[in-house]
A and B are shown apart, each in its own frame.
Chain A
Amino acid sequence: MLRSTLRWSVLVSQALVVGAGCCHRAEVSLRSPFDRYDHNRTRRLSVTDLQEPVHPTMGGGDDSPRARAHAFETSDYPPTASEQFQIELIEKDAPSDALPPAILVPTYPGVPLPLSDAPIAECSECRTDRADLIDYLATGPAAQAGIEAPDLAGAVKRDGRDFEPVLAVLSRRDLVTLDESAIRKALPEAGIELADAVHDTRYAPGAVGTTLAFRYRCFWFVLYRYPAQPGFTRLVVVNGAVSTRPEDKAPDAPSC
């Protein structure tokens, strides 16, 4: 009787341990623009006003849209930011605070894939897409450097080598033709943790299409196949140091 009780106790304990391991889910959140890397930070955007001017004093006297170049920086993102793009309510009212009604910042769909190391035309100061991604990775998962590169750099040579197994896959010329299963097979065998779910609050849920996310060396790499696109054509990288709760950590994942 005692032996069978002990045996049942051991079996139940083992079941509990296995059960705990089996319920781990790796879920990736895209987080704030500072925590995610979704564009080459050295490149500028050209912003064109495509709408007809609403205010009588706006507009230049011809019909052509007017564009201007702007490099979005950290100073464009605070709730008080209004230096670069002035936004007002058409139907004016007087709020109790001095905050602008809205600020204007871009939402990027991700870095184009396959990852390019080609020099950026007409921009000697720009880093290639690949070089800027390595620069971001080298500053580490706590840098919050998704908008602007810090004034100091991480160990870019070393991290370029350390992330090469993944960068090589992301740089493949045929990447867009590969389906999810083929990409998973191409990834390195060691050090990869696949995500069970991606929570992307940048867009409406139906806008995102298919995602494939994996963690490597403390960063989540999220590949996007947007609707009507031929394959996985965009990449967003999120720092992997999202949570230190034990239940969020995969059993063999490196700590971050």
Chain B
Amino acid sequence: MSTPHDEIVAALLTVLAPLGGELRLLSRLADPVIGNDTDDAYFFVPDLHLITEQRQVHYGTYGFNHRQTGLLEKLLHALVPLRKKWKAARTRKLITIQLGDFFDLWRELKPTASMADVPEDAFASLRDVLYRGIHRGLPCLQAVMLLGNHDTHAGETLPEISPLLLKAFNRAPSGKPFLFVTHGDCFDWLEVLVPDAISEFVVQFIGKLTPTTKYSVGDVSKAAARINKPIADLKGSITKPVHVIGGSAVKVTPGADLPSHAIRRVDPGATSRRFNDYYSALVAADAQATDAASIRVIVAGHTHDAGMLLCTPSGQRPLLLMDCGAWIERCRYELFESGKDVEEPSAQLGVIVGNDARIYQVRVPA
């Protein structure tokens, strides 16, 4: 019998197979530690950094991957019927979340430009299938859009994007969400604006120490306006040109036997600052009375480094940090069957259904 994961894979392969493409499993955790008590499927679209053709000429080939073929919107369109089918059968919702940095407004708009200068028809199909089509009678996934640091210009966001959230939790009938999603740059802001990263992140959960409006959409966008890099500094890669992904990537087909713990295990304090700060904030005493009290999984983007970090200290709270990568820059990883390294445009997608979290790389022949 097909699982929801298999149904999603099958839908994506209807687009990829005719192209000679495939899905590769970059990371997976299938384990009750995820703590998901909902039936819904969560589908993550990471950083895209869209810029128009007119602006693209300034950046050569560096930018949103597979833009010429429209690959991503074709994949998303393939999920629309599945979403409708599940909704009609009332079995589960397919909840799509775009993790922020949808457009790259820092590169798209000059300092004196206005939001109206973003053409209405730029990436129209992608905008429609993700969030805009519901307002136009077109097929649409009604994605939840998160605010990323590149999603603002002069203190404002693109008005058509809705719903636009800074951060969000899954809707849990138990009242205890397991999932927290955010773009993932909050510590970058804090590094620039506020010296004490840990306490300010706790503020984002509990809102006691400083006014919560400090982290509203408007405040984040104004902060972005202050630290946007000069145009000349934006010509290079945003994070790094090639992201090396550890492990060995298995080809994914419906029903395929996949490794259950293709993740990196870490201890708090022994890994990235971002993970440590998230972990410290979640286990802080003040956080236990908040919406974050039951969080087991944080899904983010921003770094463009696809992968999962799992921390399960004995007798203490587990945490999975799932970074869903990007559709910009390149990635290098090993193919499972041959042991051969490949390097190709990053094109990652994340999925969580039940206690099974996955990150895929979409491959198509060059």
Are the CB atoms of B217 and A140 closer together than 8 Å? yes
**Within 8 Å of chain A (Cβ to Cβ): is B169?**
yes
**Within 8 Å of chain A (Cβ to Cβ): is B144?**
yes
Q: Give bound CA distance, A255 to B215, whole Å.
A: 10
Are the CB atoms of B290 and A155 closer together than 8 Å? yes
Residues in A neighbouring B206, C-beta threshold 8 A = 158
CB distance from A85 to the nearest CB of B (A): 14
Q: Give bound CA distance, A217 to B167, whole Å.
A: 17
In the complex where A78-B135, A78-B136, A158-B205 touch, is A218 in contact with B218 (Cβ < 8 A)?
Answer: yes
| Chain B, range 112-147, C-beta contacts under 8 Å to A | 134-137, 142, 144, 147
| Chain A, range 10-41, C-beta contacts under 8 Å to B | 34
Partner of B144, one of A151, A161, A254, A255: A151
Are the CB atoms of A255 and B163 closer together than 8 Å? no
Q: Give bound CA distance, A140 to B164, whole Å.
A: 8
Those 10 A-B pairs whose CB atoms lie nearest each other, nearest first: A152-B168, A144-B162, A80-B137, A150-B163, A142-B217, A256-B218, A254-B213, A151-B95, A143-B163, A142-B164
Are the CB atoms of A143 and B164 closer together than 8 Å? yes
* Consensus secondary structure, chain A interface: loop
Residues in A neighbouring B217, C-beta threshold 8 A = 140-142, 241, 256
In the complex where A74-B142, A153-B169 touch, is A244 in contact with B156 (Cβ < 8 A)?
Answer: yes
CB distance from A249 to the nearest CB of B (A): 11
Partner of B135, one of A77, A142, A158: A77
**Within 8 Å of chain A (Cβ to Cβ): is B219?**
yes
**Within 8 Å of chain B (Cβ to Cβ): is A145?**
yes
**Within 8 Å of chain B (Cβ to Cβ): is A156?**
yes
Please indicate which of the listed interface residues A78, A152, A154 has the most CB atoms of chain B within 10 Å of its own CB. A152
Residue of A nearest to B222 (CB): A255
| Chain A, range 134-190, C-beta contacts under 8 Å to B | 139-145, 150-159, 161-162
Residue of B nearest to A125 (CB): B173
Residue of A nearest to B211 (CB): A254
Partner of B97, one of A143, A152, A161, A217: A152
Are the CB atoms of A74 and B134 closer together than 8 Å? yes
Residue of A nearest to B207 (CB): A158
**Within 8 Å of chain B (Cβ to Cβ): is A195?**
no
In the complex where A74-B135, A141-B217 touch, is A152 in contact with B95 (Cβ < 8 A)?
Answer: yes
Q: Give bound CA distance, A151 to B131, whole Å.
A: 12
Q: Give bound CA distance, A220 to B212, whole Å.
A: 16
**Within 8 Å of chain A (Cβ to Cβ): is B165?**
yes
Q: How many residues of B sit at the interface, in one of the four size bands?
A: 35 or more
In addition to A78-B134, A143-B162, A255-B219, 5 A-B residue pairs with Cβ atoms within 8 Å of each other are A140-B166, A151-B40, A157-B290, A158-B290, A244-B156
Partner of A155, one of B137, B157, B170, B205: B205
Partner of A139, one of B142, B157, B163: B163
**Within 8 Å of chain A (Cβ to Cβ): is B177?**
yes
* Consensus secondary structure, chain B interface: mixed
Residue of B nearest to A83 (CB): B137
What sequence of 0s and 1s flags, for each residue 48-85 of chain B, a beta carbon within 8 Å of any chain A beta carbon?
A: 00000000000000000000000000000000000000
| Chain B, range 196-244, C-beta contacts under 8 Å to A | 205-207, 211-213, 216-219, 222
Residues in B neighbouring A145, C-beta threshold 8 A = 162-163
11 contacts between A and B (CB under 8 A): A74-B135, A78-B135, A150-B168, A152-B181, A154-B168, A155-B291, A157-B289, A218-B216, A241-B216, A244-B155, A254-B213
CB distance from B34 to the nearest CB of A (A): 17
Residues in A neighbouring B177, C-beta threshold 8 A = 153
Q: How many residues of A sit at the interface, in one of the four size bands?
A: 20 to 34
Residues in A neighbouring B97, C-beta threshold 8 A = 152
**Within 8 Å of chain A (Cβ to Cβ): is B93?**
yes
**Within 8 Å of chain A (Cβ to Cβ): is B171?**
yes
Residues in A neighbouring B136, C-beta threshold 8 A = 78, 80
What sequence of 0s and 1s flags, for each residue 283-310 of chain B, a beta carbon within 8 Å of any chain A beta carbon?
A: 0000001111000000000000000000
Residue of A nearest to B172 (CB): A153
Residues in A neighbouring B144, C-beta threshold 8 A = 150-152
Q: Give bound CA distance, A143 to B145, whole Å.
A: 9
Are the CB atoms of A152 and B169 closer together than 8 Å? yes
In the complex where A151-B93, A155-B290 touch, is A141 in contact with B142 (Cβ < 8 A)?
Answer: no
Partner of B134, one of A75, A143, A162, A218: A75
Q: Give bound CA distance, A154 to B164, whole Å.
A: 11
CB distance from B313 to the nearest CB of A (A): 25
Residues in A neighbouring B142, C-beta threshold 8 A = 74, 151
Are the CB atoms of B137 and A81 closer together than 8 Å? yes
